[in-house]
Structure 1
Amino acid sequence: MGKRLIVQARGKGGPRYKIPSHRFLGRVRYFSHSNFTGKVVNIANDPGHYSPVMFVKDENGGKVMHIAPEGIQVGDFVHYGQYSGVGSVVELSMIPVGTRVFGIETWPGSGPKLCRSSGSYSTVMSVTDNKVTIQFSTGREKTVDGKCRAMVGIPAGGGRLEKPWVKAGKRSHAMMARGKLYPRTVGVAMNPVDHPYGGRKKHAKFKTISRHAPPGRKIGSIAARRTGKRK
């Protein structure tokens, strides 16, 4: 009898595939109200985020967690509702064209959804009829409501990928902290009992699999209409 595929084991949800969310510091969000000034009371590293996070306290004592922009420090002020440089949380329609922003809402009140990873940002390109066009660092453009809020600046930790891992153990620990599966073993390197592609003496199998195949045989392209590159 064959063994379960990795996708089957992950679907069952054993301890090896569970995300250690009990170690995460919390959820990144914005205050629901505006037109006030908050204060940065702490900056920390969160295993659940690639960027450093900061805790901002408002005038009433409420505290939320934000993605920390480059150049911010403990004791600085975060202005809500008015543009005043890096760290301000304002509506996109109030931000000057050419400004770099991150933590962009997809609809008013949704909370930060776009450009949250370290070093990622978008640039405000144009403001027309309460619609704002932003351009991502990849060059793709997106139009959102002008009342959507964003934070001015760039998320801290932009050079995170420049340093090499050097040792496999370092990367293994980093992947384990996020609940990622590492290392990944290809099917052709497994035994026949572990994967349909396993066993080097066997002939090549078809990559396309029927949608009605049993779970242990669903590997490769499942119910694909076509294969290969488009001409």
Structure 2
Amino acid sequence: MGKRIRAQRKGSSPRYRVRSHRFPGSNRMPRENDIVGEVTELIHSPVHSAPLARLKLPDGDTTLVVATEGLSVGSNVAVGNNVSLRPGNITSIGNIPEGTAINNLELRPGDGGKVARSAGNSCYVEAKIGEKVRIRMPSGALKELPANCRATIGVLAGHGRDEMPLRTAGAAYYKAKARGKLYPHVSGVAMNPVDHPHGGGNHQAVHGPNSVARGTPPGAKVGIIAPRRTGRGRGKKV
């Protein structure tokens, strides 16, 4: 009988458990309108690529938002429809002029921000079409969203974090460990047959079909799971 594969060990082993006690918390835009919050702290989060800013609201509560480039401790962040176009302020995309860089963009009004939330990322307001606003996504795609979706003005902080290489395998190990991942990641074809269904053989290959059904039992459910189609796709494309 073979050993349990990595996907099975992840279900019970504390080795793969994410150290969530180190995470500062979720970050979403405040639900209130026409308020001004003060940045009291800039926080490094192991699970986020961009730094976070802790806002103190007028009622005394605090909330976390992703930090826009240019924010510092003591800066004010205005939330509402009648705000200045200053980096860090939050308003509806219908109030933002064309060509403005935005981040932490909502796809549906009130969802707290879903797009352009990683370090150095941003979207751009392309055009306004009636009740819709055309946005250029970080991928370059154009998407029309309701004008009452909110966004943060400016570019997210942390630009250039990928420019410095990891340099050592140890740095990559600790980077993965902070998020509950294992490094290095050994492929199945490099293992022995006792360790993985793809292991063994005189050369590294799957040695057979690597497509498995959705209901395949654990331990054998590896490879391409429930593919829509297999082969080279030479047929006529519809």
Q: TM-score, normalised by structure 2?
A: 0.90
Aligned equivalents of 2:35, 2:218: Cα separation in 1 = 55
Residue pair 1:68, 1:156 contacting (<8 A) in 2 also: yes
- Measured after TM superposition, the shift of residue 229 of structure 1 is 4.8
Q: Give the match for residue 218 of structure 1.
A: 221
Residue pair 2:132, 2:145 contacting (<8 A) in 1 also: yes
Aligned equivalents of 1:229, 1:100: Cα separation in 2 = 41
Aligned equivalents of 1:145, 1:151: Cα separation in 2 = 15
Q: Give the match for residue 44 of structure 2.
A: 45
Aligned equivalents of 2:225, 2:27: Cα separation in 1 = 36
Aligned equivalents of 2:140, 2:15: Cα separation in 1 = 38
Q: 1:211 to 1:151 in 2, by over 3 A?
A: closer
Letter in 2 for 1:214: P
Any gaps of 5 or more consecutive residues in structure 2? none
Residue pair 1:25, 1:48 contacting (<8 A) in 2 also: no
Q: Give the match for residue 208 of structure 1.
A: 211
Query: Quick one: percent identity of the two aligned structures?
Result: 39
- SS in structure 1 opposite 2:148? coil
Q: Give the match for residue 77 of structure 1.
A: 76
Q: Give the match for residue 32 of structure 2.
A: 33
Q: TM-score, normalised by structure 1?
A: 0.93
Any gaps of 5 or more consecutive residues in structure 1? none
- Measured after TM superposition, the shift of residue 144 of structure 1 is 1.5
Deviation per CA, 1:63-104: give whole Å up to 9, x if none. 111111111111111111113310110001001111111111
Aligned equivalents of 1:152, 1:23: Cα separation in 2 = 29
Letter in 2 for 1:206: P
Deviation per CA, 1:122-155: give whole Å up to 9, x if none. 0011122221111112211222111111101111
- SS in structure 2 opposite 1:166? coil
Residue pair 1:53, 1:68 contacting (<8 A) in 2 also: yes
- Measured after TM superposition, the shift of residue 182 of structure 1 is 1.8
Letter in 2 for 1:27: S
State the superposition RMSD in angstroms.
1.7
1:4 correspondence with 2:31: no
Deviation per CA, 1:132-189: give whole Å up to 9, x if none. 1111122112221111111011111110100000000011111111112321101111
Aligned equivalents of 1:112, 1:223: Cα separation in 2 = 32
Q: Give the match for residue 171 of structure 1.
A: 172
Aligned equivalents of 1:107, 1:13: Cα separation in 2 = 36
Letter in 2 for 1:199: G
- SS in structure 2 opposite 1:19? coil
Letter in 1 for 2:221: K
Q: Which 10-residue stretch deviates more, 194-203 or 82-91?
A: 194-203
- SS in structure 2 opposite 1:217? coil
Aligned equivalents of 1:58, 1:225: Cα separation in 2 = 49
Letter in 2 for 1:174: K
Q: Give the match for residue 21 of structure 1.
A: 20
- Measured after TM superposition, the shift of residue 230 of structure 1 is 4.2
Give runs of aligned pairs for residues 77-156 of structure 1, distance below 5 A: 77-81=76-80, 82-156=83-157
Q: How many residue pairs align between the two structures? A: 230
